[in-house]
Amino acid sequence: MNTQPWMQNLTVQDMPTEDTKIVAEFLGVDVAVQMMEELPGIVINIPEFGLKKIRNKYIIQKYDGTRKTKMILAIECNVTEGYIRKLISRERTKNKKSA
């Protein structure tokens, strides 16, 4: 990161937009400044259920069909065994339709 002397004491209030203020509040001023330097003009949309999709993909990849794995994944991913059963069932149905 190219830190200029005038950048050393920046605060959240110094950020130029509401979006950069939010980034600075949650991730720090340094991250907000780095994003402005590295990604000028880029619009970033944070998906509402992005982590859910990643978690579900993880469950599908790790599930080996055993009850033990289902229990471990339920605890690890903070979901119920029933949720995993439905997720796997939907995935199998989807795969059958595409085959």
Task: Give 66-80 pLDDT, tens digit per residue.
Answer: 999 999 999 999 999
Q: Could you tell me if 33 and 13 lie in one domain?
A: yes
- Write the CB contacts of 30 (distance below 8 Å, at least 6 apart in sequence): 1
Range of the domain at 68: 50-98
Q: Which ranges of 13-49 does DSSP label H, i.e. alpha helix?
A: 18-27, 29-38
Q: Could you tell me if 30 and 61 lie in one domain?
A: no
Report the number of distinct structural domains present in the chain. 2
How sure is the predictor about 4, in pLDDT bands with cuts at 50, 70 and 90?
A: confident
Q: Could you tell me if 71 and 32 lie in one domain?
A: no
Q: Could you tell me if 55 and 86 lie in one domain?
A: yes
Give dist(CA 58, CA 78) in Å, integer. Answer: 13
Residue 78 counted as domain residue? yes
Of 63, 53, 54, give the one whose Cα is nearest residue 89: 63
- pTM for this one? 0.69
